[in-house]
Amino acid sequence: MKTKYVFFFLIILFGFSKSAFSQLIEDKFPVFKNGEKITYDAVYNWGFIWLNAGVVQFSVTETKYQNEDAYHFNSVGTSLKSYDWFFKVRDYFQSYADKNTLRPYFFERNTYEDGYKVLERCNFNYTDSLVYTKVQKTDKPYTEDTLKIRQNAFDLMSAVYYTRNIDFDKYKINDKIPVRILLDNEFFDLYIRYLGKEILETHDKRKFKTMKFSVLLIEGTIFKGGEDLYVWVTDDFNRVPVLVEAKILIGSVKAALSTTENLKYPLSSEIK
C-alpha cells in the first residue's frame, strides 16, 4: 500500500485565495497567538477495522525571518509505535510567513512514510515574483526549479493558518470558496464548499458548535478526487478544526481534536 501523504489530508484542511481578504475577521486578526499548540489523533478505518494510527501536532511561534517579523508554523505527524510495524510515519512540515499578511516566505516538507521519503523546500521571492523549489523523492530524481509566483497563492501550512481568519458567517450554504496552493511544484486552484452549522460530538464525547465544509481534493496520491473530505471547525473566534474525515483509496482516515494549548480566545464553541 504505497499511500504517500498519510498525514497530508490534515495539512490540506482547506485554503483560500486572497480574494477572500474582504471576508477576514479583521478586528480579531490573527485568531491565533504565539505558543498555540493543537494536537489530533489520527485514526485509520478499513472495513470493520479501526486503528488508532498516530498523532499530529500543529504549533505557532513568533520569530524573525530574514529580519522580517514572521510566524513559524510547525506540524509533526508520527505513527504510534504499535502501528509502526504496519506503516511507519515520521512527517515534518514547517512554514515561515509574514506576520501581517501570512503570505509564505519559506516552506519545507520532510516526510518518511513506509520507506517513502520526500524532502521539499520552497523559497518565495516577492521582489522577483519567483519561488525557488528543491525536491528529492525516493522514486524520482532530485530536481530544482524556478516558478513564477501566481497571485494569491499559499503553501500548505500558511494556507491552514490564513483560512482560520475568514469570516465564515458571510457565506451561504453551498457557497464555493476558492483555494490556491503550491504542491509538488504545481499551483492548484481548488475550492471548499460551505455546508452550514452543526452540533458535533467527538469520539471522546465532547460536543462542539461547528461549521462544516467539504473540500475538493486532488485526484491521485491517496485520494480519489472529488469532495470526499469533510471538515468541522469550531464556531468561535479560534476557528480550530475539530474533526477531519476523508475517504482514501483504501478505507478512510480521521483526525480528531485531542488537546489545545494557549488558544487566543476561549473555546466558547464547546458545549459543557
pLDDT digits 0-9 by tens, 112-164: 988 999 999 999 999 999 999 999 999 999 999 999 999 888 998 998 898 88
Distance separating alpha carbons of residues 49 and 64, to the nearest angstrom: 46
Q: Does residue 50 carry a pLDDT above 60?
A: yes
- The C-alpha cell at 160 is 491552514
Higher pLDDT residue, 11 or 132?
132
pLDDT digits 0-9 by tens, 241-261: 999 888 766 677 889 999 999
Tell whether 2 is covered by a domain.
Answer: no
Residue 8: closest CA among 120, 123, 139: 120
- The C-alpha cell at 234 is 469550531
Kindly report the length of the chain: 272
Q: 211 with 230: CB under 8 angstroms?
A: no
pLDDT digits 0-9 by tens, 210-246: 999 887 765 544 444 445 688 999 999 999 999 988 8
Per-residue model confidence (pLDDT) at position 162: 85
Residue 209 vs residues 199, 230, 233: alpha-carbon distances, Å: 5, 16, 8
Mean per-residue pLDDT over the chain, rounded: 84
Bin 138: left if φ > 0, else alpha if -120 < ψ < 50, else beta: alpha
Under the banding of pLDDT at 50, 70 and 90, the label for residue 6 is very low
Distance separating alpha carbons of residues 107 and 133, to the nearest angstrom: 9
Residue 236: closest CA among 203, 260, 204: 260
Under the banding of pLDDT at 50, 70 and 90, the label for residue 167 is confident
Tell whether 248 is covered by a domain.
Answer: yes
Tell whether 187 is covered by a domain.
Answer: yes
Mean pLDDT of 4-22: 40
Q: Which residues contact 253 (CB under 8 A, 6 or more apart)?
A: 6, 9, 42, 43, 44, 45, 53, 245, 246
Percent of the chain with pLDDT over 70: 85
In eight-state DSSP terms, residue 220 is: B
Q: What is the pTM assigned to this prediction?
A: 0.86
Per-residue model confidence (pLDDT) at position 190: 76
Per-residue model confidence (pLDDT) at position 252: 76
Q: Which residues of 214-243 are buried (b: 16+ CB within 10 A; e: fewer)?
A: bbbbeeebbbeeeebbbbbbbbbbbbbbbb
Q: Does residue 1 carry a pLDDT above 70?
A: no
Tell whether 26 is covered by a domain.
Answer: yes
Per-residue model confidence (pLDDT) at position 39: 96
* Structural domain span for residue 124: 8-271
Under the banding of pLDDT at 50, 70 and 90, the label for residue 104 is very high
pLDDT digits 0-9 by tens, 181-219: 888 888 888 777 899 999 999 888 999 999 998 877 655
Number of domains within the chain: 1
Per-residue model confidence (pLDDT) at position 258: 94
Is residue 162 classed as helix, strand or coil in its secondary structure? Answer: helix
Name the one residue in this structure whose C-alpha cell is 504549533.
59
Q: 129 with 179: CB under 8 angstroms?
A: no
Tell whether 1 is covered by a domain.
Answer: no
Distance separating alpha carbons of residues 9 and 28, to the nearest angstrom: 27
Cα-to-chain-centroid distance, residue 220: 18
Tally of CA atoms within 13 A in the half-sphere of 229 that contains its CB: 27
Higher pLDDT residue, 97 or 180?
97
pLDDT digits 0-9 by tens, 84-94: 888 899 999 99
